[in-house]
Structure 1
Amino acid sequence: MNSMHFLGEWFDCRAALTALRDPEAIRALCVEHVMRHHVSIAYDFFTLSAHRGVIGAVMADDLHIVVRTFPERDAVNVDLYAAPSHGTDVAGMFQLLAGLCDDFRPARTVLHRVQHGTDTMPASRVPIAPTQTFGAERWRAA
């Protein structure tokens, strides 16, 4: 299985501070972006974290997205995993991340990608060097 796993770190987010603390608002954004890709959601859960941010997840058969906000630092962490059974591809996953990124409006981003089950190493995880940018545009699909 050649799945995709992206770990995004978004810094200096210009979304309203109240939005970074609102589980229902962040849930609505995540559900909207997942549904745009015609993926049936099996489960979602969003709540306040111990640090007055939000932690939440949307899960489907072969996809999950986990979002954690840090309002005191204007930061967001995003974890997106997708297996190819839903016809997902890298471009589609970048579109999903780009849509969320547009909503949080970070000034700086770091994106880590882990490739699972490549042809040369079928049962392994292959880390790929992080792409660091000081504007969100460079890591998005063209």
Structure 2
Amino acid sequence: MHGLHLIDELYDCRCDPQLLADAAALRGLCLATCSADGLTPVGLVFHQFGNALEPAGATGAVVLAESHLAVHTWPETKSVSLDLYVCNFSQDNSSAARDACRRLISAFAPARVLRRELVRGLPELAGPIDPTGESD
């Protein structure tokens, strides 16, 4: 489970509006980015919101041999959310993940970005389950 989880929120994106509104364009970008950075797509699903006359954004997920990429667009606010998780079990994929996120961010050309990195798979930090369901 050890890996790196990258979460990015992109605001005021200045890319071609089609990239925010068209699931096919979004799918092409995601697949090209993952492949270029050494990640291995093994499945995918993309959904177009709205209709052919008035697209209203897209959402998509690429299942990777290394874990997953999820992307959601809001053309009406020129916003995008990215979620890329890679496991580092047999090799360290952190560099590939960071490169892929940089490529995606560059493609969307946001004016503002909120980035978060989470290292996952640290069992020594995990606490016992509280049977009452209460949290500290």
Fold conserved between structures, TM > 0.5: yes
Aligned-residue offset at 1:58: 0.6
Q: Indicate whether 1:103 and 2:99 are aligned.
A: no
Aligned-residue offset at 1:43: 0.5
Shift in CA distance, 85/35, structure 1 to aligned 2, threshold 3 Å:
farther
Contact 2:10 2:110 survives alignment (8 Å): yes
Q: Which residue matches 1:90?
A: 94
Q: Which amino acid in structure 1 is aligned with residue 117 of structure 2?
A: R
From 39, 59, 62, the counterpart of 1:58: 62
- What is the TM-score when the length of structure 2 is the normalising length? 0.81
Shift in CA distance, 96/76, structure 1 to aligned 2, threshold 3 Å:
same
Q: Which residue matches 1:14?
A: 14
Shift in CA distance, 123/30, structure 1 to aligned 2, threshold 3 Å:
farther
- What is the TM-score when the length of structure 1 is the normalising length? 0.77
Contact 1:117 1:123 survives alignment (8 Å): no
Choose between structure 1 and 2 for higher RCO, CA contacts under 8 A separated by at least 6 residues: 2
1:115-134 matches, cutoff 5 A: 115-118=119-122, 120-121=124-125
Q: Which residue matches 2:40?
A: 40
Contact 2:39 2:96 survives alignment (8 Å): no
Equivalent position SS for 2:24: helix
Equivalent position SS for 2:27: helix
Identity of aligned residues (%): 26
Shift in CA distance, 4/24, structure 1 to aligned 2, threshold 3 Å:
same
Contact 1:39 1:86 survives alignment (8 Å): no
Structure 2: gaps of 5 or more residues: 129-136
How far apart in 2 are the matches of 1:56 and 1:92? 20
Structure 1: gaps of 5 or more residues: 125-142
Aligned pairs, number: 124
Aligned-residue offset at 1:123: 7.5
Contact 1:11 1:107 survives alignment (8 Å): yes
How far apart in 2 are the matches of 1:122 and 1:84? 19
Equivalent position SS for 1:49: strand
Contact 2:3 2:89 survives alignment (8 Å): no
